Amino acid sequence: MRVLFVCLGNICRSPTAEGVLRALAAREAPDLTLEVDSAGTAGYHIGEPPDPRTRAAAARRGYDLSTLRARVVEPGDFERFDLILAMDRENLRVLRRRAPADAHERLRLFLEFAPHGHAAEDVPDPYYGGANGFEEVLDLVEAAARGLLAHLRRQPRAA
Ligand code: 4NP
């Protein structure tokens, strides 16, 4: 299974999801053959590591994001990945415009996988907000990553 997380800049939300899912899968589902990556719909930060605030908040919960580097979504991603998960509805709209028709069924909102009771659809963009935004990203991402992992374990070949 190949999973791609997509946000705007690929320096806050989607690298967090990449690091969290990878760590969770290694710990709780080592049997699952999973490839995890992330990318942005915008190219403002290509080649940069995740935002220092994102890295610090993730490190406090035990996730090391320091080796990740930002990139933009490219046409080949729509063929390569089994699931392409947008961090919010705006980025999902952008992906729908860019993806070929046969990839649309593989485009989803990441928070669809959060447990019922989590009403949010979007992981809010923390870039211009306060420190609490980065904690909120981690809370939402950890919840949805658990749900996604459960989903992948139920149907490891066809998400
Ligand atoms: P991300 O956050 O999409 O979660 O990586 C952002 C990062 C950078 C910008 C916006 C959002 N920016 O405008 O540079």
Give residue-wise pLDDT tens across range 32-58: 999 999 999 999 999 999 999 999 999
Any idea which residue has 């919010």 for tokens? 88
- Average pLDDT, integer, range 56-68: 98
Q: For residue 119, what pLDDT is reported?
A: 78
Residue 64 annotated among the catalytic residues of the structure: no
- pLDDT given at position 157: 57
Query: Would residue 12 show up in a list of annotated catalytic residues for this protein?
Result: no
| CB hemisphere CA count around 98 (13 angstroms) | 20
159 in a structural domain: no
Residue range(s) defining the domain that contains residue 144 = 2-154
pLDDT for 126 beyond 80: yes
Number of structural domains in the chain: 1
In a domain, 112, yes or no: yes
Please give the average per-residue pLDDT across 12-39, as a whole number. Answer: 97
Tokens of 97: 């415009």
Q: Cβ < 6 Å from ligand 1: which residues?
A: 7-13, 44, 125, 127
Give the predicted TM-score (pTM) of the model: 0.96
Question: Does residue 61 lie within any of the structural domains?
Answer: yes
Q: Whose CA is nearest to atom 13 of ligand 1?
A: 9
Encoded amino acid at 34, one letter: L
Tell me the pLDDT band of 147, cut-offs 50, 70 and 90.
Answer: very high
- Does 96 reside within a domain? yes
* CA Rg value for the chain: 14
Q: How confident is the model at residue 112 (pLDDT cuts 50, 70, 90)?
A: very high
The single residue of 27, 88, 125, 139 carrying the catalytic annotation is: 125
pLDDT interval class at 156 (50, 70, 90): low
* Beta strand 83-86 pairing with 35-40: unpaired
Task: Report phi then psi at 70, rounded to 5.
Answer: -75, 140
Spatial separation of the C-alpha atoms in residues 114 and 97, rounded to whole Å: 25
Is there a contact between 84 and 4 (Cβ–Cβ < 8 Å)? yes
Q: What is the CATH number of the domain that holds 20?
A: 3.40.50.2300
To test the ligand 1 pocket, which listed residue (11, 38, 54, 94) has its Cβ within 8 A of the most ligand atoms? Answer: 11
pLDDT confidence band for 159 (50 / 70 / 90): very low
Distance between CA atoms of 78 and 100, rounded to whole angstroms? 7
